[in-house]
């Protein structure tokens, strides 16, 4: 493998220079965050990197601690010296950074040493973030469908006697089974299992996100079980998928213009018993309502995002205009809050308290003067 002999390989560590004319021994310094460490790499004369050796000074060896065996393995696996040096460089940087934090902390050094060791076992490439006090570690996992998931692990000074607190992007609660002999490796293993249990849930939602216009949430997270899907102009369906039974009939709520949603709701109510859990939620919904949802292939999202006819915005404090005038010729959409404030300001509007405790306000549509109602609780 000639790459080991290539002088361009040394540019990553500019002070690492060949020591013999065969260019099999490199010696010099690696610089990281203002500190210099002595490093020597010996390549075998037959140029097979598998038999390479690496030596570093005591200071760097202490900082790298448990990572040295990994570094040696990586050197042996690397096809090119330059690739290895780049990898070594980033490993040294992150270890030096961690070590600086470690040195600046006066309490419980044993705990931080333990955590550094645990992290090198779960591998640094699964660590997305560590806070400065070394109390929050954010770890990443990639599931069998190449989706990324994250878990934030909050470590107290009583760790590992006290279980770490975890927050995840799972749609259901993640309850960590813990005892004081466990480590971050166990946290990740349990998280990986929980992630795999939700594969069907994410398949269901990924299909919806890909094939329909999702109006809300604006940017769905992995934990979001609700989607508001465009059915037509000013008409949508809000569904909430059950994370534990993702292919069962989700909670459904129709929103928007009555003349558009009534036939769809009637179709659905008539054929609920046809729901087939072996099919995807999207196919079931389309079959039951007897429609094809508007899709990104055949339509533009703007077609389903009419602005509010009072404030002329689409999104107002996160809300979208989902109150629609029932009069077909008008069909204007309003934010609940805009319509509520508008009606309240008119002397002709009436308010009443429903038997469920909601305050309804009745008045006239600002555009067509047909009767329109809005509920205060919804604003
Ligand atoms: Zn508005
Ligand atoms: Zn109207």
Going from the Cα of 358 to the center of ligand 2, the distance in angstroms, rounded, reads 23
Which helix (H) or strand (E) covers residue 235, if one does?
strand 235-240
Residue 193 sits in the same domain as residue 208:
no
Going from the Cα of 370 to the center of ligand 2, the distance in angstroms, rounded, reads 6
Residue 242 sits in the same domain as residue 216:
yes
Residue 204 sits in the same domain as residue 193:
no
Q: 160: cis peptide before it, omega within 30°?
A: yes
What is the number of domains present in the chain? 4
Q: Which of 79, 104, 129 is the last residue of a domain?
A: 104
Is residue 41 classed as helix, strand or coil in its secondary structure?
A: strand
**Ligand in nearest proximity to the CA of 335:** 1
Determine the pLDDT at residue 293: 94
Residue 12 sits in the same domain as residue 92:
yes
Residue 143 sits in the same domain as residue 185:
yes
Rg of the chain's alpha carbons, rounded to an integer?
Answer: 30
Going from the Cα of 219 to the center of ligand 1, the distance in angstroms, rounded, reads 21
Going from the Cα of 310 to the center of ligand 1, the distance in angstroms, rounded, reads 5
Determine the pLDDT at residue 2: 36
Alpha helices in 218-335 (DSSP H): 258-270, 281-289
Residue range of the domain that includes 252: 200-305
Going from the Cα of 329 to the center of ligand 2, the distance in angstroms, rounded, reads 8
- CA angle at residue 165 from 159 to 171, to 5 degrees? 155
Residue 139, domain CATH = 3.10.110.10
Going from the Cα of 265 to the center of ligand 1, the distance in angstroms, rounded, reads 26
Residue 165 sits in the same domain as residue 192:
yes
The per-residue DSSP string of 197-221 comes to HTHHHHHHHHHHHHHS-EEESSS--
Q: Which residues contact 330 (CB under 8 A, 6 or more apart)?
A: 365, 367, 368, 370
Going from the Cα of 324 to the center of ligand 2, the distance in angstroms, rounded, reads 8
pLDDT tens digits in sequence order for the chain, 379 residues long: 333 334 444 455 566 788 888 878 888 888 877 788 888 888 777 766 667 778 888 888 877 776 777 777 777 777 777 777 777 777 788 777 777 666 655 445 677 778 888 888 888 788 888 877 778 899 999 999 999 999 999 998 888 899 999 999 999 999 999 999 999 999 999 999 999 999 999 999 999 999 999 988 989 999 999 999 999 877 899 999 999 999 999 999 998 877 888 999 999 999 999 999 999 999 999 999 999 999 998 888 877 878 899 998 888 888 888 888 888 888 889 999 999 999 988 888 888 877 777 788 999 999 999 999 998 754 4
Residue 299 sits in the same domain as residue 320:
no
Phi, psi of 219 (to 5 degrees): -130, 95
Going from the Cα of 340 to the center of ligand 1, the distance in angstroms, rounded, reads 10
Residue 350, domain CATH = 3.30.40.10
Q: Which residues contact 169 (CB under 8 A, 6 or more apart)?
A: 149, 150, 151, 221, 222, 223
Going from the Cα of 364 to the center of ligand 2, the distance in angstroms, rounded, reads 8
Cβ burial, residue 157 (10 Å; 0-12/13-18/19+):
exposed
Q: Which of 149, 179, 197 is the last residue of a domain?
A: 197
- Please state the pTM of the whole predicted model: 0.64
């Amino acid at each position: 493998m000639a790459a080991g002999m290539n002088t361009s390989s040394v540019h990553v560590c500019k002070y690492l220079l060949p020591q013999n004319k065969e260019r099999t021994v490199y010696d010099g310094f690696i610089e990281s965050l203002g500190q210099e460490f002595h490093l020597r790499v010996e390549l075998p004369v037959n140029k097979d990197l598998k038999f390479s050796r690496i030596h570093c000074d005591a200071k760097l060896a202490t900082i790298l601690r448990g990572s040295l065996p990994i570094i040696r393995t990586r050197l042996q696996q690397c096809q090119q010296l330059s690739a290895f040096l780049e990898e070594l460089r980033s490993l040294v940087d992150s270890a030096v950074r961690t070590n600086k934090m470690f040195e600046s902390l006066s309490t419980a050094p044993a705990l931080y040493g333990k955590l550094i060791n645990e992290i090198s076992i779960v591998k640094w490439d699964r660590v997305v973030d560590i806070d400065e006090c070394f109390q929050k570690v954010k770890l990443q996992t990639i599931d069998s469908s190449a989706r990324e998931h994250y878990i934030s692990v909050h470590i107290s000074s009583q760790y590992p006697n006290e279980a770490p607190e975890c927050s995840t992007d799972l749609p259901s609660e993640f309850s960590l089974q813990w005892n004081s002999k466990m480590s971050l490796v166990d946290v990740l293993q349990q998280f990986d299992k929980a992630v795999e249990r939700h594969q069907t849930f994410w398949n269901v939602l990924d299909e919806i996100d890909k094939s329909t216009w999702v109006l809300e949430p604006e940017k769905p997270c992995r934990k979001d079980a609700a989607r508001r899907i465009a059915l037509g102009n000013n008409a949508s369906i809000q569904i909430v998928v059950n994370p534990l039974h993702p292919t069962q009939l989700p909670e459904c709520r129709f929103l928007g213009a009555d003349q558009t949603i009534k036939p769809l709701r009637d179709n659905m109510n008539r054929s609920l018993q046809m729901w087939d859990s072996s099919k995807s939620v999207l196919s079931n919904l389309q079959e039951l309502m007897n429609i094809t949802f508007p899709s990104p292939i055949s339509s533009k999202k703007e077609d389903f995002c009419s602005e509010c006819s009072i404030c002329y915005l689409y999104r107002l404090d996160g809300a979208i205009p989902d109150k629609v005038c029932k009069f077909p010729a008008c069909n204007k959409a309003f934010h609940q809050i805009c319509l509520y404030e508008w009606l309240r300001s008119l002397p002709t509007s009436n308010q009443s308290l429903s038997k469920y405790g909601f305050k309804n306000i009745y008045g006239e549509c600002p555009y067509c003067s047909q009767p329109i109602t809005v509920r205060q609780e919804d604003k």
